[in-house]
Structure formats: C-alpha cells, structure tokens
Amino acid sequence: MPPDRWQQHNITFVDGEMARRTIAERLGPGLIEAEAGGQLTGWWFMNKQPWPLRYLADKPSPAIESLLSDFIGDGVATLCLPCVYEPETDAFGGPEAMEAAHELFHSDSRHLLTYQPSPMHLGRRETAVLLASAMMRGAGLDWFEQGDVWAKVAALRPVTNPPPPERAAELISPMQKLMTADARSLCRPNGPLHRYDEWVTAFERAGATLADLAGRGALTRGLRAVIAHHVIFHANRAGLLRDDQSALSYIAREVVMGTSDHTESPTEATASIDSVSAVNTDTITTPTADAERLRNALVDQLRTDGHARTPAVETALRTVPRHVFVPDASLEDAYANAPVHIKYDTDGTSISCASQPGVVALMLDQLEAQPGERILELGAGTGYNAGLLAHLVGENGHVTTLDVDDDLVEGARTHLAAAGITNVEAVTRDGALGYAEAAPYDRIIATVGAHGVPHAWLQQLAPGGRLLVPQRLKGTVSRSIAYEQRDGRWVSLGSEMNTFMPLRRGIADDDRRVIPLSTDGAVRLQAPAGLNIDADALAGVLDQPHTEEWTGMTVRAMESPEWMELFVTCSLPSGLIRMLFPQSAKGTLLTEDPYPSSTAVVDKGTVTYLARRLSKEKTPEGDRLWEFGVIGHGPGSDELVARVADAIRTWDRDYRHREATFEIQPLDAPEIEQRPGLFALDTPLNRIVVDWR
C-alpha cells in the first residue's frame, strides 16, 4: 500500500482512564461508522501516549477529524496532531510481511476494543499468550522454536526483578496451559472467547502468511524475530505494562527452556483449559503484587491530576485494597479511575456503585479527616470509602456508615472484614436521618447526592465539625460543598464540581425523571423529578426549526466552564438540566458540538441547549479557543435563547474571575434581595444562598 495513503493522528489524552473510556465509547464506534461510510479502511492503533491512530484514506477522514476536535473541546484530550506514518517495514520482515502485519493490526485493534476482561472473559495477559501461541503454531513453529520466540521477547523486555524460584515454579503449569491450549476451542458457546474466533483466525493466518513468505525467501528478517516483534506490538496495543510483558516472556521462556521434558502437545493440553476458572487473570503473576502495582499506578495518576494532596490521603489510597470491596470486578477494573457499579434498579438504572477514585480522593481532600475523629458517612455502598476514612482516623477514631439497603450494608461489612478493618460500624438506615445513637461527629460526609441538607446532619455535628455534601443546587448542577458553622451561620469553606447518585427511599429523596425531546426518544432530558416540566409540550420539540445565538464567551482547551454553569443555572427558573444524547444525534437532531454537561433550559414547550464551536480568536500564546452559543427550539425560542445568552455574557463580563460561596439558611430566614451575583435557592428543607460578590 503506498505510504502516502496512510493517515496518522497522534492523540494526547488527559489520562489513561479517560483514554480507555473515550476510545471504547466514542472513538471505536466513530471509526467503525467512518469505515462503513467509505471514508477510511484498515484502521489500527497503539496503546501509548500520545495515542497513534492510523488508517488508509486518500485524505484525513472528516468524521474522524471532527471527532478529534470534539475530544479537545470536551477536555478529554489536549492535542490531536496529524503526523507522518513510517511503517517498520524492516522490523516486520519486508514489504509483503508489512502488508500482512497491517491486516493483523486492523483485526487486533477491532477485537481489543470490544473484548473487555471480566469474570466471564480472560484477562489481557492471558489472551496475549493464547493469541501469540496461536500465531506461532500457525507459522508451524515447533515447541523449542516457540521457546526461542519467547526468549527473543524476553531479551527485548528484560525482567528487572525475577520472581523467586518457588514462585516461578508455581507459574510454569498455568503458563504451559496457556501456551499449549487450542484457542479455537475456547471460542465455542459459553467459552471465554465465544464470538471471537475471527480474532484467533487473524493471528493464525498471520503466522501462516509469515511462514509462507519465509519459505519463498520473501522475508527479509528471521521468522522467529518477526513473530517476536508481533508479540510485543500486540502486548503494547493491549495496554500491557512493560513489567507484564517482562513477566510473561520470562515465564514462557522458562516453560520451554527451563527443562527438556516439556513435550505436551496442544491436543493433550486442551482438555485441561476449558473455562475461565481454569486459567484466569491471576495465573501469571501474584494477585497481591498485581493489586499493589495497579493501586500505586492509580494513585500516581490521581496525584498527577491534582488529587490526594495530603500525605495522609495518599497513604490511605495506597494502603486500602479497593479490589477487596469490588470482588466481582477484575483487578484492572478495580484500579481504573472509574466507578464500579454494584446494584441496579428494576429498569437497569445503576443505584449504587464504588465511586470513581478521582472523586473519592477529591472529597477526602475536602473533608480533611484527622486521627482520632468520629465520622459519619451517608452511603455505605461497597464499604471502600468507609475503609479509607477508617485508615485516616486511625485505631483511636471511629467511622459509622449508613445505607438504605440491607444487602449493601451486609456487603460492606463483609468487605471491611475481609480487608481487616475493625473501626467501622455499618448500619441500615435512611441516611437523611443520620445516626443520633453515635453522635456527635467531628465530620459528616455524604457520598450520595442531596438537594436540601437534612436537619439531622447539622444537628449531629460536634461544635467545629465539618459537613461535606455533593449538593444539587438547581437544575442538575451540583457541587461538593464543605460547610462549617461560623458565628451561628453554616457557610462554605470551598466547593468542587461533583455529581453523585441521589438520595432515595427516604425523607430527602431527590429522584430524576427522563423527558424525551426528539420523536425517537434518542435525545432526552434527565431532570429532577420535582421540577415542573410539561413533558407533553416538549415532545418532538427538536423537530421544530431552531434559533441560535453565539455569545462571544470563550474557553481554552481543558478550561472548565463549571462556574459559568452555576451562574446560568442560578439565573434562570428551570436552571440548567442535563441532556442525554447519542453520538448519532450530533449534526442531525443537534448541532455538531452540543455541550455534554448540564446544558438545557426549559420554559413550557421551548428548550434551549448550549453548544460550542471553534473560535477564530486564539490566546496570546496561540492556543485555540472554543466559543459558547445557545440553540433553541419551540415557540418563542428566540426570547429564551437571548435570556440564556445574556446570563452567559453577564458571568463572563462581571464574575468570571470569582468563585461563589454558599450558605445554608432556614426556609423562614429573612428573604434576601436577589440580583446578578446573589441568588437564593429554596429546597424542600432549607435555602441555599449563592454569592459571587
């Protein structure tokens, strides 16, 4: 294939977890759609930073360029640059072998995007060994020739700390099962590779093609050296760390070269590996060592992101084993910077999860728990957050954690016991009631979203105590706010943008409802249940002609417009409401770049939403800027659009460089005179004053 037909984009993601989610949820489907539309073919990637995406096309794909621009605008990537692709033709054995490599890269990339490690699937390390072994057998390599390939990989990925001899001996048998297993037999129904037979076929075919080229003298490098290069490329694409690659190749080499009596054939071995339980994600390296490595890598990432700012919080996160609290998740999922959902409502909606570690760290920074303190947590979930709190307060402190569901409380108790944590009491109780039996508390932290602040929380705090609550202020705009009582007033010390699952089944319920905006229901509002919205009046509103107004307010890449969101939500009766939409709605039902956070304003049968576009202006440093606009549909949309745009401009002109403070007041407190920069938000339980002055 002519080199000038290859297109390459180097994508610099914000962090590894953001990259994994964006690639799986947005880029993968976008590539498949662009391929189906004839814009490109043969796409593949490598899993590193920056993330290189390569595909065949006469020119860069407009769909992919638009998607990459979205990544910058959404803050998931900092750079997306076009680059020249230089194939490693010599390393892969010459032009014909390079063409075969590209075919394998494409198939491998497609399957890696969809095959996710889980209790019913194999892990990335196990599939790497299975696929590499299938490729070697496809090339007709005998047992010792396969061992030589692993030795070449081990030479390129030298192990720095080889496992002790006794541990290496333990790993020989499971590794040999992987190396000699018939991967195709695992593709049968209910097998761990079910529906992934084409993945296995791609590696077998690549091995056979390379062997044919070698037999015809058309391979410019040794067959086993080329296959070793393929093994490393797949491992990199699969996201295996260098330590993983070192361990795999070291043990695989030892399986073959460590003794001369390993003569088991694939046929003889297949019967012993017929399920995930036979060879699972813990077979190659010590689970405890893996967990510690992944946990430390996660905390390193959180520190880079600006969280876990104190040594105490950092130490707690490095010490408390999250995987013990989510036993059904793989180690990779347990230590990803993402929530792990553990309970669902009857309609499939998640109602409890282990919160995203980045959010957990952010709130622990805000809480500032000290040794010896008594803490009340509202929302036990898995028990993980309570375990972190227990570590922070130490053996002389105590944590009480509440949840409304018996099964969640029992699970939290089990997980805490498994982790050896003894200074936590888990209780079934409506969190809005608090737990007076163990009051007063030095700190109260809610890990569930609230609208009003229950009176019990304030009453059960000790003098000088701190309340930390993820609070939905208006519309769907929420912030994690730390309150303390000063001179008889409950005032904020600081706040961070944050959203949690709402309180439910109690006196402070803050439920949500879904309201379709498009005829097919693809675009819909996720609105607070208590907000007065006429769903019938909004049915199919997006089918009506639109009005738009661009505000002149711009943001840089990675600059959060969170304070603008809050100001606009305070300024309008409905507030800003989250709008859910699929990727396919962009450029069809909606503009090319609708703002994905709290974005919609509603007035009777009219709706507006925020959008962005690349501005012609740039920063003094030459960086790009994105301008915010307002799009409206429905009767009188031009008037509502103008009101939203005016609120954005007011914030930009007068309040952009300020942060708001918050105060909890009783509902019968004297009313304040509201004006731009000073708002009173009434909840069913109290009044929240938001002040930018």
Kindly list the catalytic residues.
352
User: Do 41 and 35 meet the contact criterion of CB atoms below 8 Å apart?
Assistant: yes
Smallest CA-to-CA distance from 144 within 227, 267, 226, 257 is with 257
CB 528 within 8 A of CB 476: yes
DSSP string, 390-445: HHHH-TT-EEEEEES-HHHHHHHHHHHHHTT--SEEEEE--GGG--GGG--EEEEE
* 51 contacts 18 by C-beta, under 8 angstroms: no
Residue 332: both structure tokens together: 């990779």
CB of 405 closer than 8 Å to CB of 352: yes
> Which amino acid makes up residue 134?
A
Exposed, middle or buried, 261 (CB in 10 Å: 0-12/13-18/19+)? exposed
- Give backbone dihedrals phi and psi of 516, rounded to 5 degrees, phi first: -65, 140
- Angle 384-393/406-418 helices, nearest 10 degrees? 50
Task: Specify the pairing of strand 461-474 against strand 441-446.
Answer: parallel
| 265, amino acid identity | S
With beta carbons less than 8 A apart as the criterion, state whether 592 and 584 touch: no
Q: Is residue 186 classed exposed, middle or buried when 0-12, 13-18 and 19+ CB atoms within 10 A define those classes?
A: buried
The phi and psi torsions of 551 (rounded to 5 degrees) equal: -95, -20
Of 78, 39, 76, which is closest to residue 56 (Cα–Cα)?
39
Distance linking the first and last C-alpha atoms of the chain: 63
Using the structure block, give the residue that is written with the tokens 């499971």: 174
Residue 179's closest CA among 255, 235, 247, 240?
Answer: 255
- Distance set, CA 491 to CA 263, 382, 660 (Å): 73, 31, 11
Pair 364, 388: CB distance under 8 Å: yes
Distance CA 414, CA 424 (A): 12
Nearest to 443 by CA among 422, 458, 423: 458
Other beta carbons within 10 Å of 475? 26
- Structure token pair of residue 451: 């609208």
Alpha carbon distance 404, 387 (integer Å): 19
The C-alpha atoms of residue 421 and residue 390 are separated, in whole angstroms, by 7
* Secondary structure of residue 119 in the 3-state scheme: coil
Beta bridge partners of 461: 441
Residues whose CB is less than 8 angstroms from the CB of residue 532 and which lie 6 or more positions away in sequence, other chains included? none
Is the CB of residue 339 less than 8 Å from the CB of residue 457?
no
